[in-house]
Amino acid sequence: MTITYTVTAERSGRFWAIDIPEIQGGHTQARSLTEVDVMARDCICILKDIPADSFDIDVSVKLPTTAQEHLTAARSLSAQAVAVQAKAAAESRAAARELKAAGLTLREIGIVLGVSHQRAHQLVH
């Protein structure tokens, strides 16, 4: 079983401070967030004297509180939007099928739904 080290990266001035709490002295830094993985692996390899492919890391980026709150809200709203979009698509399909059953042509269904007659055909079938 491969061990996984928890790595926390936090902006500190112009650098990213990297902390690996499972390892005594597990602190390093990176110039950019893209370097955090490499620098953390290098630190673990040196301090534990193990090869880089013998473990996994789980990087957590610590953000300012307000930025994290906005990010959390954005992700939640995005998930809600996906769910609402799926429900809207299902309702559009149901409406198209009902209209077809009521005798409307595909062109008429397209006009009612605000889509092309080709899209109306897709919704019906």
User: pLDDT tens track of the chain, all 125 residues?
Assistant: 789 999 999 999 999 999 999 999 999 999 999 999 999 999 999 999 999 999 999 999 999 999 999 999 999 999 999 999 999 999 999 999 999 999 999 999 999 999 999 999 999 99
pLDDT at 31 (0 to 100): 97
Q: Which two tokens stand for residue 29?
A: 């830094």
Give the Cα-Cα-Cα angle 86, 90, 96 (nearest 5 degrees): 145
Q: Which residue has the tokens 């009521």?
A: 102
* Domain 3-62 indexed as CATH 3.30.420.40: no
109 within 8 A of 101, measured Cβ to Cβ: no
In this prediction the pTM is 0.69
Domain with CATH 3.30.2390.10 in the chain: 3-62
Burial of residue 96 (number of CB atoms within 10 Å: 0-12, 13-18, 19+): buried
pLDDT at 1 (0 to 100): 78
pLDDT at 56 (0 to 100): 96
Residues 6+ apart with CB under 8 A from 29: 12, 15, 16, 17, 18, 39
16 within 8 A of 10, measured Cβ to Cβ: yes
